[in-house]
Amino acid sequence: MKFIIGICDDEKLQVKVNGLYIKEIAERNHWELSLIPFNSGKGVMEYLQTKKLDVLFLDIDLGNESGIGVAEKLAAKYPELVVIFITGHREFANDAFDVDAMGYIVKPVDEKKMERVLKKTLAHIEAIRSKQPSDTVVITVDNLKKKILQNEILYIERQQTKSIIFLKGKEYGVYETITALAERLTTDFIRISQSYIVNKAIIAGIEGNSVILKNGLELPIGRTYRKTVLEAYYQNK
């Protein structure tokens, strides 16, 4: 199984050094991968218009750009892309996980930590690739596996370190990122912001910057998600 990995840093030397680390790790683990270098978030966005990345190692400080801002745009447009931050700014860790980053590596890079994060990431991607479409989703609640029907899910909300899955009359809190859950759901669901995924079947309408559910609940649409949400909603009308 081949993986395409991007490295984005405004310092070309850092791109080269991190690329060497990744190549050494790949050789030890017998992974087949391609490395694509970038020096700006803009370069990443332009590349993804016609090509694909599985993983992106992204610096937070990109000179005139914010890596956090770049990650938010990528999450909205390419939810399957896994982002791992590499940065000298330890204080931005909470912001990094707010955009569902798979990992956060502080410079100078510890190769062993990079290897652990990359192993977890590629295993996650392999699991997604091998999964078959299903009308159910398996979640872990209180250390127990539970299978629920996808069409019973109303919406999912990210709350700090947990994702809350709302069904009619009940809810489940799971320690899984909202992005990981989105990848396991069918196309009957739509991500409307960094914090919400909604079952299209229960959308009653859109008013301003909110999605109105059939139970009367209003959920905010994220600015970078608005175009995608409107297109998906009106295509189903």
pLDDT for the residue numbered 132: 52
- Of the residues 130, 149, 175, which one is the last residue of a structural domain? 130
Answer positive or negative: Cα dihedral of 27, 29, 30, 31: negative
Tokens 């410079």 identify what position?
107
12 with 120, same domain? yes
Q: What is the pLDDT of residue 64?
A: 86
112 and 202 in a single domain? The answer is no
* 102 and 171 assigned to the same domain: no
Cα–Cα distance, 85 to 118 (Å, whole number) = 12
160 and 84 inside one domain: no
pLDDT means over runs of 10, the chain (237 residues): 92 94 95 95 92 92 86 81 83 60 81 91 80 74 84 94 92 89 88 94 92 94 91 73
- CATH number of residue 64's parent domain: 3.40.50.2300
Q: In angstroms, what CA-CA distances link 236 with 7, 123, 206?
A: 38, 34, 13
Domain boundary among 95, 130, 165: 130
One domain for residues 90 and 140: no
Note the pLDDT of residue 5: 97
Query: Do 167 and 64 share a structural domain?
Result: no
7 with 109, same domain?
yes
Shared domain for 49 and 121, answered yes or no, is: yes
Co-location of 180 and 219 in the same domain:
yes
Which of these three, 89, 111, 130, is where a domain ends?
130
Query: Same domain for 83 and 194?
Result: no
Q: For residue range 178-217, list pLDDT tens digits in order.
A: 888 888 888 899 999 999 999 999 999 999 999 999 999 9
Domain housing 75: 2-130
Give residue 6's pLDDT: 97
The CATH number covering residue 176 comes to: 2.40.50.1020
The Cα angle at residue 173 between residues 181 and 192, in degrees rounded to 5: 45
3-state secondary structure of 43: helix
**162 and 55 together in one domain:** no
CB 102 within 8 A of CB 117: yes
Domain count, the chain: 2
- Regarding whether 231 and 141 lie in a shared domain, the answer is yes
